[in-house]
Amino acid sequence: MKVYLKILFINFGRSLFLRIAVAVLAAFIITTANIAHADIYKYVDEEGVLHLTNVPTDHKVKYVLILKEKRILFNANLDVTKYDELITKAANKFKLDSALIKAVIKAESNFNHRAVSRVGAQGLMQLMPSTASALNVDDSFHPEKNIEGGARYLRYLINTYKGDLTLALAAYNAGEKAVSKYNYNIPPYRETQNYVKRVLSFYKSYSNL
């Protein structure tokens, strides 16, 4: 969904006015879309009019990114039990806690089996095409195949990091090279650090159900 605002600045309070406009646009995106990209871009035209949008489509204009958010997922009618049978099957096969697989799915796709990230990760557990191929997943949008592939990869990472779940999750998000680059610590990427925290939080919640 594309959202667009055109604003004519007055001479005073420009900075405050911009912050308010950005906040209004972001709030509108969040409350009107099931899945929305909340990155907000701006440009000022030759007449001094500020343009704000979450989808920069005019290739003749140089946009400036002023608010970045990887992805906002919102679905008031979400059924978090829809894939429980498939999750349990994969958990048993790869000796994982089903609550952990469910937590990763929640963080990765919010249970949307058609989800596609900006970098091309696909499906419930957001498998990159190269990763899916290595895991023998021929259709990442097929829930059962995606969950089995993601669970297999998660088990591999947990084994690789000798049971250290935080490192396994960091590698799931940022890649094994990123973890090794930072001496086998969680990489200092805000996205990855937040990802690990979110998955662990979801894991705790689902474990208590």
pLDDT score recorded for residue 206: 95
Question: Is 54 in contact with 36 (CB distance < 8 Å)?
Answer: yes
Q: In this model, does residue 68 exceed pLDDT 80?
A: no
Distance in angstroms (rounded) separating the CA atoms of residues 30 and 75: 10
In the sheet that 40-44 helps form, which strands lie side by side, from edge to edge? 4-8, 49-53, 40-44, 64-67
pLDDT score at 12? 38
Q: What is the pLDDT of residues 103-157, one digit of tens each?
A: 999 999 999 999 988 888 999 999 999 999 999 999 999 999 999 999 999 999 9
Instruction: Give the predicted TM-score (pTM) of the model.
Output: 0.66
Structurally, what CATH architecture does the domain formed by 84-207 represent?
Orthogonal Bundle (1.10)
Categorize the per-residue pLDDT at 72 as very low, low, confident or very high, splitting at 50, 70 and 90. very low
- List the Cα angle 152/150/144 in 5-degree steps: 100
Domain spans of the chain, in order of start: 4-73, 84-207
Q: Is the pLDDT of residue 65 over 80?
A: no
Query: Which of 46, 108, 148, 176 is the catalytic position?
Result: 108
Please compute the mean of the pLDDT values over residues 83-98 and round it to a whole number.
98
Give the three-state DSSP class for 4.
strand
pLDDT top residue among 65 and 17: 65
Q: Please indicate whether residue 71 or residue 86 has the higher confidence score (pLDDT).
A: 86
Q: What is the pLDDT of residue 34?
A: 45
Residue 185 in contact with residue 193, Cβ under 8 Å?
Answer: no
Q: Tell me, rounded to whole angstroms, the distance of Cα 19 from its chain centroid.
A: 25
> Which residues lie closer than 8 Å to 139 by C-beta, 6 or more apart?
145, 146
For residue 33, the model assigns a pLDDT of 45
Give the model's pLDDT for residue 3.
46
Structure confidence by residue, pLDDT tens digits, 4-55 = 454 444 443 445 555 555 555 555 544 444 444 456 667 777 777 777 776 6
Confidence (pLDDT) at 190: 93
Residue 114 contacts residue 141 (beta carbons within 8 Å): yes
Is 85 considered catalytic here? no
